[in-house]
Structure formats: structure tokens, C-alpha cells
Amino acid sequence: MGSVLALSSGPGHQNWPFSTDPPPSRWNSHPAHWDSPPRWERRDGRLPNPGSFHSLHRSCKDVFPQQIEGVKMILNKTLSSFFKVSHMLHLSAVSPSYYRFHVEHLQSDDDSKDKDAPALIGEMDSSGSLNAHALLHVTERVRARTVFQTQQSQFVTWQFETEFRGNDFTAAVTVANPDVLRESVILVAHFLQSVSSGLVLGGELVYHRGRSEEGGILTLAGQYSRPNWVATLNAGKGGAHASYYHRANKQIQVGVEFEASTRTQETTTSFGYQMELPEANMVFRGMINSRCIIGGVLEKRLTPLPATLMMGAFVNHRGDKLQVGLGVTVG
Amino acid sequence: MGSVLAASSPNPPPPATGGTAASGLTVPPGFGMPSVSPVISPTGAALGQQETENPLPNPGAFDECHRKCKEVFPMQMEGVRLVVNKGLSNHFQVNHNVMLSTMGDSTYRFGATYVGSKQTGPAELFPVMVGDMDNSGSLNAQIIHQITKRIRSKVAFQTQQNKFVNWQGDAEFRGEDFTATVTLGNPDVLVGSGIVVTHYLQSITPALALGGELVYHHRPGEEGTVMSFVGRYTGNNYIATLTLGSAGAHASYYHKANDQLQVGVELEASSRMQDTSVSFGYQLDMPKANLLFKGSIDSNWVVGATLEKKLLPLPLSLVLCTFLNHSKNKFQCGFGATIG
């Protein structure tokens, strides 16, 4: 049995697993190659591995356009088969402009060859903020990940995660921000089990402890997937998060998301769609929100050049604010 | 001798600043007069200086002196802009403008242009009536008419919501080698205020034109005049203009390096605001790529650029614009699409 990562990508993700796009800037998500194939892939009649807990809502979230503001110029350079470098310059009208340098040391696509080579990803800002990930395949089934994030000179996140991928289940334990001096720690345990060919059930237990308080939150998760759609639900004491992803045809994908939080006492419903026109080298993502936010981002590959142009605008009707963004990615 | 306007010039006349619709309308920009082909005279060496054999060319309108240099500079834009132009007939054109702004209010503007049937030159038809109305009720209206062969007149109104802000009328007389214009601005009989502006521009040699401007303003209790002089020298591929007056100085130099590159340098000094600024701008035109790029850098540490690209199979044109003010650390970007 080969590694699940070697499976070919399903109809759900065109640019998975080894996308040439720049990695997502959402720092609580794993890099693209860490995820498992879409849930509806089946081999040998056995239940597939459900993947990691963080990527349960990923297919729906990928449909939504990313907030874009100001001018962003990204230059990607592949120095060798495992070393990639990227320079990003962001000129912004509302926040300070910055330059970011990103470097990746990854082994090549075929995982089964060099399983013990770590993947190292680091990013440094012009203000000194650092973001570093290290992924290590300890054995074929066990993976370890370390994340460090600083805001200028102060450490904001330091976490250590271990994940075990069984035949049809995934279990992960994360230790986040362990602080001996302040006696605080956050422990997160995830468990996902493939119950049937389309159904995955699991849960997340978060235990946080500080000097004066401690508490635990249990969230249950379920995901049902069919070849054309995926429905996911997370529900617990901290709130609920439901998402529905539907692939209408080869060009149009649609996502609906509902989030409710008991801490902030608010709910948000979002509707997003993605339209791909590969003949025109164009991808358009649009979204509308219950917070009266409407946004759209157009991405076009300028084919003779290895460049991609991104144009987007977000309007918040309630606050009457408009945000416009342009981006050019070279390489 | 035929009309001086029909004289062939070695440099092709520039396109009308507002863009020319395919049906042959000249669409004037916001408030300028429709641009007339500037008569860039051939170098004086081949022609004699005698007035009887080769009369001096008409120097053009007074307002156009600094125009060629100003056209090289990019126009600052922010937010998202959508413009839809629709030609309803040979005489009538309509445009819709939606501007979503990141600072300030978003507006919708509806404009209409009517061009009459009196033809005075290639692609010049009169009367021209241009109007546009804002979603808040602000109106801009202009009527331009060629009254006789040599006299052209313009009436313009501008309101801010329902209050009239600007109302003016002017008459321009184009002689053989001079242009004289009288403008009456905001005349108010009830209050007893008004502004009278007279312009005079005379061709001294085929390359040199000199002129002056006299502004007289009157309000109950005060009146005053401002006077300024203008000199313009036109070379083979350059135009140098200087305006000097009690309100300040304005010098501009325009240079056409080749078919693709045009460069402009401008110096403005204002005695009222007590400051000067120098700007350098260039325009790169690549008709084969349907691309127009304008860049500028300023002595106020403002750097800006505009990129315009025609997406050809569609009648669609895309504009990207960014301006960065280094001294105030402010950044502005915007893009727009023009359909039709």
C-alpha cells in the first residue's frame, strides 16, 4: 500500500497537492502538501484515510476569494528541485507596507522516496516578524510539525504537533504555547475516523490551562462527501461551523459556510463561488456575506509571460468601505 | 490660401483628448475645448519669413499652451471605476460612469454628448453639447458652437447639487496669426460681481508665439487685476512654454523622443501658496501591444504610474493606476474598466 499522498488528485482540487501557487497566508492551515486527497477517493474497497482535522473545511474555504488590498508583487524563484524562494512586496493604503521573504526547503513530489527529509518553511518580514514551520515524517504513518511565529521580536506562537495516520483514522496531538514560567499551555487532541465510504466522524478536545484558570472544550465533527459535494459540520460548546461545497461542473464550484461563535455571540453566513475558465486562463472568485460584505477577485495568467495578475475589490456595505487590490505574481 | 487649419503639419495631429468615437465624433474632455490640431509649423529654415509669401500660422487656443505637456502625465485615480460608452447615433453619445471610491463617496454619473452637423474641419462638428449629471444632482454642462468661420463661443455651467458654482461664457476669435478670447465668468448682476478674462496669443515667427492674459475680478467693495505673459516656442519635436505673471510662473517642456516615447517636464511656482514643484513625466505608447503606460515623479516625492491596455477582441479597456507619496507615506491604487 503506497502512501495516501501518492494518489492522484480527484476532481475536487485542481491544484492539489503540489500547487505552484504561493502557500496560503492563513497561518493556522497546513501547507498544501500536508493534506490528504479528497475524501471520495476509494481504493481496494477499504476506507480511505480521512486526512487531517484542519482540512475538513478546506474545500469550501478555497472557493472564497482572499481579502486583497493595495498592491502586492510576488516573485517566486525555484532555485533547485527542493529549494524555493519567494519575495513579496506589499504596498498598502490602510496598513504599513512591508517586504516579506519566504523560503521553502521541501522534498520533491514523490514522498515515498525520501521520507525522513524534513520540510522547512520560513518567512521573514521587513519588520522582523518570523514565521517558521518544520514538518518531519518520523515514520510512514507518523508526522511531526513545529510552528514558530513571532510578531517583531516577541514570540506569539510556538507549537508542536504529532499526527498519526492509520488505515482509516487520523489522530493528532498538539501542544501549543507551552510556557513553563507562566505555567500555561494549550493541548489539542484531534481524532477523525472514516465510518463509511463517504462519512467521517471525529472530534477535537481543547484543554487550556493558565495560572489561574483551566478549561476544556469538546467539539464534534462530521463530514459527508459524495463525488460532487462535501458537507461538513463542527459543533461544540464554543460554537458551530457548517460548510457545504458543491462542484456544479468543471468550471463552477460553489461553497456555503455558516459560523456561529458563543464567545463573540454572533453568526455569519457566507456564500462563495469560483468560476474557472482554463481557455482564458482565468479564475474568478466571488463572495457575499451576512455582514454585508461583497467581494470578488479575478486571477488571470498572462500566458506568454510566467506572470499572474490579480485584481480584486471588497465592499463592506454596512460600514461603507471599499478595499481595492492589485497583485502581480511572477514565476 | 486655404484655411490655416487645413495646412499639413509634419507631426500628425494628436487624438482629441476625450477620445474619438468610431463614428467620428470629437468628444471633448470634462471642460476643455475640443482640441484643435496644433499647427506645429515646419522648421523656419525652408520657409521665408515674409508674411506675404508664408503667413504665420494661427497659434491655437491660449489654454492649449501647456496642454501637450500635461497630457503626458498620468491621472491619479483610486477605487474602482466602470465606464460604459454607448454611441446612439452619429450625433449622440451617452456614457455611464460608476466610481466606487475607497475614501469619500461613491458616485454614479450619467453623461450625454450631442454633436451637430455644421462641419468646419475634419472630425470637427458643431454645435457640441456636453452634459453630465451626478447621483447627488451636480450638473456639468457645456455648449460649444462655431458662430462664424473665425469665432467660436462656449457657454459652461457647473452646479454642486442644486447650487450654481460656475457659469461662464466666452468667445474666441481666430485671426490669421493670432487668437483672442474673452471670457465672462460668474457674472452676477444682483450682487455686482464677476470675472472677465481676456487672452491674446500672437505668432511672432512660425515657431514662436507670445501672448498674455488679463484677469479682472470685481466684487462689491473690491476689484483687482492679475496679468500674466505667455511665450511658447515650438521646435521640430519639442515644445517649450513659459507663463509668467503676478500669480506665479509655470514652465513646461514637452519632447517627443520617438513614436513611442514622449517626455514632459513641468515647473510650477505659485506666489500665493509660496511653493514650487517640479514634475517629470513620460508616456510610453505601444500600439502593437495595445498598451499605454504613463509614469511621473514629482518634487513632492510623489511617484505614480498608469497602465492602460485595450483587451482587443472585446471593446474593453483596462486601466490600472497607483500613486505613492513617499513623504506622507500614503499609497493609493485603483483600477477601472471602460466598455465601448
Tell me the per-residue pLDDT of B175-213, one tens digit each, with 9 for 90 and over.
989 999 999 999 999 999 999 999 999 999 999 999 999
Calpha distance B171→B145 (Å, rounded): 10
pLDDT tens digits, one per residue of A156-178: 999 999 999 988 899 999 999 99
- Whole-number mean pLDDT of chain A? 84
Stretch among A317-321, B83-87, B120-124 having the lowest mean pLDDT = B120-124
Collapsing DSSP to helix, strand or coil, B289 comes out as helix
Residues from B in contact with A at Cβ < 8 Å: 78-80, 100-102, 106, 320, 322, 324, 330-335
Calpha distance B267→B276 (Å, rounded): 7
Region B317-321: mean pLDDT is: 94
**Chain A contact set for B330 (CB, 8 A):** 93
Taking CA B9 as the corner, what is the angle to CA B309 and CA B69, rounded to the nearest 5 degrees?
Answer: 50
Within 10 angstroms of residue B35's Cβ, the number of other Cβ atoms is 23
Look at residue A260 and tell me whether its pLDDT is greater than 90. Answer: yes
Write down the pLDDT at residue B166. Answer: 94
Write down the pLDDT at residue B269. Answer: 95
Look at residue A30 and tell me whether its pLDDT is greater than 80. Answer: no
- Tell me which amino acid residue A193 is: Q
Region B234-244: mean pLDDT is: 94
Collapsing DSSP to helix, strand or coil, A47 comes out as coil
Write down the pLDDT at residue B225. Answer: 93
- As for the ipTM of the complex, it is 0.72
Region B218-237: mean pLDDT is: 93
State whether residue A89 sits within 8 Å of chain B by CB: no
pTM: 0.76
**Pick from A23, A15, A17, A13: which is nearest to A3 by CA?**
A17
Residue of B78, B80, B331 with shortest CB distance to A97 = B331
Residue B318 banded pLDDT, cuts 50, 70, 90? very high
Look at residue A15 and tell me whether its pLDDT is greater than 90. Answer: no
Residue of A97, A322, A326 with shortest CB distance to B101 = A322
| Shortest distance, CA A92 to any CA of chain B (angstroms) | 6
Write down the pLDDT at residue B37. Answer: 46
Instruction: Find, in chain A, the residue whose alpha carbon is nearest to that of B334.
Output: A324
**Chain B contact set for A311 (CB, 8 A):** 320, 335
Residue of B78, B331, B334 with shortest CB distance to A91 = B331
Look at residue B323 and tell me whether its pLDDT is greater than 60. Answer: yes
Q: Do A71 and B100 touch (CB under 8 A)?
A: no
Residue of B80, B331, B332 with shortest CB distance to A313 = B80
**Pick from A234, A240, A255, A177: which is nearest to A209 by CA?**
A177
Stretch among A51-65, A118-132, B10-24 having the lowest mean pLDDT = B10-24
Residue A38 banded pLDDT, cuts 50, 70, 90? very low
Instruction: Find, in chain B, the residue whose alpha carbon is nearest to that of A94.
Output: B331
Write down the pLDDT at residue A118. Answer: 74
